[in-house]
Amino acid sequence: MSDFNANIQDIPIHLSPCAYLHNYERSDIEDPVFLPHFKEFIDQAPVFCRGDARKLQQFIKQFIRKGDRKKTLIYIENGDIRPSKSLQDALLSMMEGKREFMLIDEQEVVFQKIFALAKLCAKDLKKRVAIISGGPGTGKTVVAINLLVRLIQEKQYCAYVTKNRAPRNVFEAKLSEGAMKKRHIGNLFKGSGAFVGAQKNVFGALLVDEAHRLNKQGRQGPVVRGEDQVMEIIQAARLSVFFIDEDQKVTSFDYGSKETIRKWAQTFDAEVIEEELVSQFRCNGSDGYLAWLDNTLEIRNTANTTLEGINYDFRVLDSPMELEMLIRQKNEVDGKSRLVAGYCWEWVTKKNPEKEFDITIDDFVMPWNLSGDRTYAISTGSINQIGCIHTTQGLEFSYVGVIIGADLRYQDGKVITDFTKRAKSDKSLTGLIGPARKGDSKALCEIDTIIRNTYRTLMTRGMKGCYVYCVDPELSGYLKSTINR
């Protein structure tokens, strides 16, 4: 309300929030509602429990002296939705001096085109849909964040949207380092299921990052189910911008595709604009590594059969201990190197907190980061954990160390996948395992694509280098042979 209701800003209306938990009895010893990490929120909105009615009366009397025949409620109900001046100023100061958010080359061109589209939508009130394609590191997220800030400056109600929580958590943390407050951030970063039942065209623009990860049916809370996330997003905004890389589909639930977006755009009679980000791949500005990776993992045939002449640090190591040591050395430089792995080891520390490790390979042991902090990519302690596709997709590091599990092997001159080697707790193949065990060719093909795309995605998280250890020695030998023939 304080960030986006125009009447609250202009009249102005003073807001003093509180929470009245009329059936909640506060405990005298370490009450969970009043633990120290909630202090920031309770200071902003005091909590009154059962038996605190008199205290609540006193709180209300501080701010309300007499009635106004519901005028204030009418003002709030009828207030235009636009960003407050304080939110605009906070966002502007947040971006100053942050090199990771600078736009270069085609990023600037695409940014300007989408920015102009958003202004046009606000002027002629027509619905439009933009599809921005781009591989790893082409700057999709950078463009999305810059659009978020600039459109807020233009007084448009907009939000940055992802299905995956990991990139939202990291960018929320980065952006709240300055003048931004957590309450500001919460208004600007939303999950893809947040638009179930949203009013038509309530947003000026929705900027959907990692659009290939959208689900068909989202959920808002434990009860309310959505119909179709692509449809709900397009319905809720004048301009819907989908940043997409269809080669990064990594679970059976990943539903976002250009075809689906075009279909729903046509349903809403929305104009469709398509752009592509093709250069500035995070790996030292070279598309050659990506082409080599696609060819080597047998995702698609390319002319890049070796890494000769490609300025990217790729190595295959003979033990996971060597891999860990190398990544730790790189991490000491800037704190931006991490270990990741395919999901081939059970998450035992989740149900057994007394257990210290999840991944064991001979003498090498480490835990998953799944039960750790929410910002694995930038937290200092996460160098002691191993990330997976669910906590690293959409993020990037300086160097990435990838443990390739037994679900990817080299056999009879071919790279093959084996879904039986995935951890049972992995949900990315849900709905496909049963048919695959019965020999269903469609399910087997989809599983094969998901496993290859998972490693392709993990192996493109590093801007400067990727180091690999393979559980399968034959795959290790094959990768070494393709580096330099």
pLDDT in tens, 53-84: 999 999 999 888 888 888 889 888 887 777 76
Pair 129, 214: CB distance under 8 Å: no
Q: What is the pLDDT of residue 235?
A: 96
Asked if the model's pLDDT at residue 223 lies above 80, the reply is: no
pTM to 2 decimal places: 0.80
Give the Cα-Cα-Cα angle 96, 100, 102 (nearest 5 degrees): 65
- Mean pLDDT on 157-162: 91
Give the Cα-Cα-Cα angle 253, 372, 195 (nearest 5 degrees): 40
- Residues 278-318 have pLDDT tens digits of 755 544 546 788 889 999 999 999 888 888 888 889 999 99
Instruction: Please state which of the ranges 21-35, 57-71, 209-223, 345-359 shows the lowest mean pLDDT.
Output: 209-223
Instruction: Please state which of the ranges 287-296, 317-326, 405-414 shows the lowest mean pLDDT.
Output: 287-296
CA contacts within 13 A on the Cβ side of 295: 15
Pair 346, 427: CB distance under 8 Å: no
Structural domains of the chain sorted by starting position, each given as residue range(s) with its CATH number in brackets: 6-78 (no CATH), 85-277 (3.40.50.300), 298-483 (no CATH)
Q: What is the pLDDT of residue 432?
A: 93
- Mean pLDDT on 195-203: 91
- Residues 465-484 have pLDDT tens digits of 999 999 999 999 999 999 87
Those residues whose C-beta lies under 8 Å from the C-beta of residue 338, and which sit 6 or more positions away, are: 327, 331, 376, 377, 382, 383, 387, 392, 397, 400, 401, 461
- Mean pLDDT on 19-24: 95
**Distances in Å between the alpha carbon of 23 and those of 17, 53, 201, 251, 385?**
19, 11, 38, 42, 41
- Mean pLDDT on 212-219: 81
339 pLDDT band, cuts 50/70/90, is very high
Asked if the model's pLDDT at residue 178 lies above 80, the reply is: no
Tokens of 284: 């030292």
- For residue 178, give the nearest of 96, 85, 83 by alpha carbon: 96
Tokens of 25: 């009895």
Polymer length of the chain: 485
